[in-house]
Amino acid sequence: MAGPNEKWSRPVELRLNREGKTTVAGPFEALAVLTESWPGEQSLSFVKARSACRGALAGHKSLEDARREFETAAAEARHKFERGRH
């Protein structure tokens, strides 16, 4: 079971708004971003990322599986953010 202090092999950098970048180092931080400051709708990639991060914290998923799902959701959100700026 991964605890709240478990970190990914590499952090994920996000730019989901005009405020600047956010660095997410593990599934606990990712869940905080997903639940507290995620922009827009809860897409399928959002749901998969949230589930994978919860699974990693509970010991059912690997940390890196959670990271990959979170990166996918972040890329989708980033694309929507960039489209909305034009």
Q: Where are the domains of the chain?
A: 12-84
Rounded Cα gap, residues 40 and 67, in angstroms: 20
What is the pLDDT, as a whole number, of residue 37? 84
Q: Is the pTM of this model over 0.85?
A: yes
86 has pLDDT over 60: no
The pLDDT tens digits for 17-74 are 677 788 999 999 999 999 998 877 789 999 999 999 999 999 999 999 999 999 999 9
With b meaning 16 or more CB within 10 Å and e meaning fewer, what string describes 64-83? Answer: eebbbbbbbbbebbeeebee
